[in-house]
Structure 1
Amino acid sequence: MQIDAEPFKISVSDAVLDDLKDRLARTRFPNEVEGGGWFYGADLTYMKKFVEYWRDAYDWRKWEAELNRWPGYMARVDGFDIHLWCEPGSGSNPEPLLITHGWPGSIFEFHEIIEPLAHPERFGGDAEDGFTVICPSLPGYGWSSAPAKPMHPKEIADLWAKMMRETFGIEQFYAQGGDWGSIITSWLAHRHPDRVKAVHLNMVPLRPYLGEGAPPLSDDEKKWIAAFKKRTARGMGYFQIQGTKPQSLNYGLSDSPAGLAAWIVEKFQYRHKEGPGVLTLHSMDQLITNLMFYWVNNAHNSASWIYTAVTEQGGMELGRRDDGTPDRVEVPTGFCLFPYDLGLIPPDSWLNRSYNVVHYTKQEDGGHFAAMEKPVELTADIFTFFKGLK
């Protein structure tokens, strides 16, 4: 496969790392509500240990080498520099699989599923099932260049379609995503159904049209909507802040690595089964490596603008077609949903309103960052879905 992009290896200067260590050493911690723990945000006791570990024990150079295991490129697409990994798959004719991350993640989320997807024979599978795995960093994330203003998921979907054609010469492909990746992948399938053969999603993405002409809500759907609103009432405050006043927030996050860590780590450490503060889901090394994508590039402000774009423009829901019927994503869609995500797993009928659902797995365990928390289960479901279509 020919790739029209420059080879790129992640390389952070010593000066950036020295500055980071100095800032961590000078962290001024806030007080906290007595007995508050994680209820009001990142727990103070944990964050002190986290900052100490980041400053004194974390080895970026080790992780930098690990990240550079994957063939990295910088692609020029429609005025953007897009950093991506592309791991050619085993087998005689590996299908291309585009995987998209979200916030507050990065392509680091996929570091445990790239090899199994591309080379299943190394894990007891068949080499002929391997995918060529393409993982781009969203515009304004990591080493990808930032847009001049908030960029909508629909625009990113169009950018991805152009990238697959111009950078890789690929006309048709599979796609997968969670978090914003599920929204972008959904719009990619909706706007480019001739290009996307099928999509696999591990988050409930676009909301269905519920206005005039739509079937009435079932009792199960009404109960799910009420439960969803209750469950997310405390957990989604960041959405409103990043959607309305990201600039004010990011003076602090650009200047303080501890501030950036508290804002992001709390999202990774929340799991609805046990509630906030479950500190066994991800190691500090994993959390810090993901943070480094934001810190060393001073990228969090531009990364947060995707929230601003949908707050200002909408686009989290489908509309009506010209004939008045509710719109849908007609590309074959597979869902693999985890019970302790931000939102509850919906009734089947809710997903069928918006998608051509041909595969639906309800996992018994796992939360929002599935590729990091449940890589084996997610990988197995991706194979099951796409192999079924083949």
Structure 2
Amino acid sequence: MLRLAPAAEKFSIAIPGAALADLKARLAATRLPPEPTDAAWQYGSNVGYMRGFLQRWRDGFDWRQWETRLNGWLQYRVKLKRPDTAGLQTVHFLIEPGSGDTPRPLLLTHGWPGSVLEFVDVIDRLAHPERFGGRVEDAFTVICPSLPGYGFSMPLERPIGPRAIAKLWRDLMVEVLGFERFLVQAGDWGSIVSSWLGIDFPDHAVALHLNMVPLRPPLTRDMQPPLSNAEKEWMLRTRKRHDAEGGYYAIQSTKPTTLGYGLADSPAGLAGWIVEKLQGFPRAPADHKPVFDLDHMIANVAFYWLTETGVTSTWLYWAARQNGELAMQPGEFLRSPTGFLLPPWDLVPPSPKGWLERGYNVTHRHDLERGGHFVAMEQPEIFVADVQAFFRNLMV
């Protein structure tokens, strides 16, 4: 039985009809960009594909179905004290109590350009495995918050970095929900936040499962062992991939407001910015459309638009860069058992074993044969099976 602190207020999503009407009018007035005659996806979001995407969003997509689906889980909002300012931060979270007598609490954290909608196909599988042919003993009570500046974790008065968010997550799990010890799963920014959570609060975040190569380990001239040839080659390959695919990162981490005029005013602009990552990060061929269900992608973009978080979601990049929170410092190490589920195509490719072990207590690693960044959304059954397998035998 859940025993939430009184500060947590029940919440239900109900987007006003006027907001949906305004969205439809803006989509109808879309002016598409030109593109070269030989264009597929090598220049960014393909115009032909986006024309169909936007038409479906305007004329066929039903937001209310997705709203109803999200409202099928318990939702709350709570105000937590920011560790980096004197202010309070509203945090929205979904929670699904697990089956059986002793479901373990599992904190799921998304990233950008994802949202809690990344997890809609895995929440029930994790909470109620017996409904999907699994064992009730593997059940988790699933807690899925929206990062500050994303979804209904608003307003966000100023940028907040991943290490401060980790403290918010600790307070959410321990002070609000009463879980002194809990498990963690995350990808993208979630893996960065969760890594700081494990480093700063190892007695609470007792085991982590991550699907992205997260924080850079401490690198010093006299470190032991020195970088291997495999690590040096991987660093070069990562840099080349980032040069080719990381243009978005440069602008979001330096001048997010400049980008924000397009993201805040144009649903087509927001969609083009996000969909390119949904096509490229799973490594769909340059002449292929994204691998995800069309309405699922539209729902994710609509979630950003209807919550007006297209801009504030990018502030996390700015804060992390300003605070230097993407790398561990000498002496920092994540000692909680950590498992990795690594897809072959991601902005950060799977790293050599030794690289991860410089900063993490790696007790599990599964390199996928296919797929990319959004594992829970792209391969939900494989994702759930690996999460269950990792946590099943841990004595934590």
TM-score range (shorter-chain normalised) is over 0.9
User: What residue number does 1:174 align with?
Assistant: 183
CA distance in 2, matches of 1:272, 1:368: 6
Q: Post-superposition shift, 1:280?
A: 4.5
Q: Pick from 74, 90, 97 the counterpart of residue 88 of structure 1.
A: 97
Query: Which deviations, in whole Å up to 9, do the C-alpha atoms of 1:258-280 show, x marking residues without a partner?
Result: 00000001101114644445324
Verify the 8 A CA contact 1:90 1:131 in the aligned structure 2: yes
User: What residue number does 1:162 align with?
Assistant: 171
Kindly indicate whether residue 63 of structure 2 is the aligned counterpart of residue 60 of structure 1. Answer: yes
CA distance in 2, matches of 1:110, 1:59: 19
Number of aligned positions between the proteins: 385
Verify the 8 A CA contact 1:116 1:122 in the aligned structure 2: yes
Runs of 4+ in 1 over 2 A off after TM superposition: 271-278
CA distance in 1, matches of 2:41, 2:210: 29
Kindly indicate whether residue 272 of structure 2 is the aligned counterpart of residue 262 of structure 1. Answer: yes
Kindly indicate whether residue 356 of structure 2 is the aligned counterpart of residue 356 of structure 1. Answer: no
Question: What secondary structure, in the 3-state scheme, does the structure 2 residue paired with 1:34 have?
Answer: coil
User: What residue number does 1:389 align with?
Assistant: 394
Identity %: 48
Query: Which deviations, in whole Å up to 9, do the C-alpha atoms of 1:282-308 show, x marking residues without a partner?
Result: 122011111122101111111100000
User: What residue number does 1:330 align with?
Assistant: 335
Which residue identity is paired with 1:65?
A: T
Which residue identity is paired with 1:50?
A: F
Query: Which deviations, in whole Å up to 9, do the C-alpha atoms of 1:319-371 show, x marking residues without a partner?
Result: 112xxxxx321111000101122222111111111100011111111110011
CA distance in 1, matches of 2:297, 2:284: 19
Which residue identity is paired with 1:336?
A: L
User: What residue number does 2:36 align with?
Assistant: 33
Kindly indicate whether residue 201 of structure 2 is the aligned counterpart of residue 198 of structure 1. Answer: no
Q: Which runs of 5+ in 1 are unaligned?
A: 322-326
Verify the 8 A CA contact 1:154 1:188 in the aligned structure 2: yes
Question: What secondary structure, in the 3-state scheme, does the structure 2 residue paired with 1:86 have?
Answer: strand
Verify the 8 A CA contact 2:338 2:364 in the aligned structure 1: yes
Question: What secondary structure, in the 3-state scheme, does the structure 2 residue paired with 1:300 have?
Answer: coil
Q: Post-superposition shift, 1:160?
A: 0.4
CA distance in 2, matches of 1:272, 1:375: 14
Q: Pick from 90, 107, 111 the counterpart of residue 116 of structure 2.
A: 107
User: What residue number does 1:2 align with?
Assistant: 3
Which residue identity is paired with 1:375?
A: P
Verify the 8 A CA contact 2:252 2:314 in the aligned structure 1: yes
Matches within 5 A, 1:335-346: 335-346=340-351
Kindly indicate whether residue 45 of structure 2 is the aligned counterpart of residue 42 of structure 1. Answer: yes
User: What residue number does 2:305 align with?
Assistant: 295
User: What residue number does 2:219 align with?
Assistant: 210
Q: Post-superposition shift, 1:11?
A: 0.7
Which residue identity is paired with 1:231?
A: R
CA distance in 2, matches of 1:207, 1:355: 10
Which residue identity is paired with 1:12?
A: I
Aligned-residue Cα RMSD (Å) equals 1.2
CA distance in 1, matches of 2:376, 2:122: 7
CA distance in 1, matches of 2:25, 2:282: 35
Matches within 5 A, 1:205-244: 205-215=214-224, 216-244=226-254
Q: Pick from 112, 129, 142 the counterpart of residue 133 of structure 1.
A: 142
Verify the 8 A CA contact 1:270 1:277 in the aligned structure 2: no
User: What residue number does 2:372 align with?
Assistant: 367
User: What residue number does 1:124 align with?
Assistant: 133
CA distance in 2, matches of 1:149, 1:77: 15
Single out whichever of 125-134 and 227-236 deviates more from structure 2: 227-236
TM-score normalised by length of structure 2: 0.95
CA distance in 2, matches of 1:39, 1:228: 19
Q: Pick from 154, 159, 162 the counterpart of residue 150 of structure 1.
A: 159
Question: What secondary structure, in the 3-state scheme, does the structure 2 residue paired with 1:226 have?
Answer: helix
Which residue identity is paired with 2:315?
A: W
Single out whichever of 144-153 and 301-310 deviates more from structure 2: 144-153
Verify the 8 A CA contact 2:278 2:290 in the aligned structure 1: no
User: For the structure 1 residues 271 and 277, does the alpha-carbon distance in structure 2 shift closer, same or farther, using more than 3 Å as the test?
Assistant: farther
User: For the structure 1 residues 313 and 277, does the alpha-carbon distance in structure 2 shift closer, same or farther, using more than 3 Å as the test?
Assistant: farther
Verify the 8 A CA contact 1:43 1:277 in the aligned structure 2: no
Q: Which runs of 5+ in 2 are unaligned?
A: 82-87
Question: What secondary structure, in the 3-state scheme, does the structure 2 residue paired with 1:247 have?
Answer: helix
User: For the structure 1 residues 384 and 155, does the alpha-carbon distance in structure 2 shift closer, same or farther, using more than 3 Å as the test?
Assistant: same
CA distance in 2, matches of 1:194, 1:272: 35
Question: What secondary structure, in the 3-state scheme, does the structure 1 residue paired with 2:311 have?
Answer: helix
Question: What secondary structure, in the 3-state scheme, does the structure 1 residue paired with 2:21 have?
Answer: helix
Which residue identity is paired with 1:183?
A: I
Q: Post-superposition shift, 1:69?
A: 1.2
Q: Post-superposition shift, 1:161?
A: 0.3
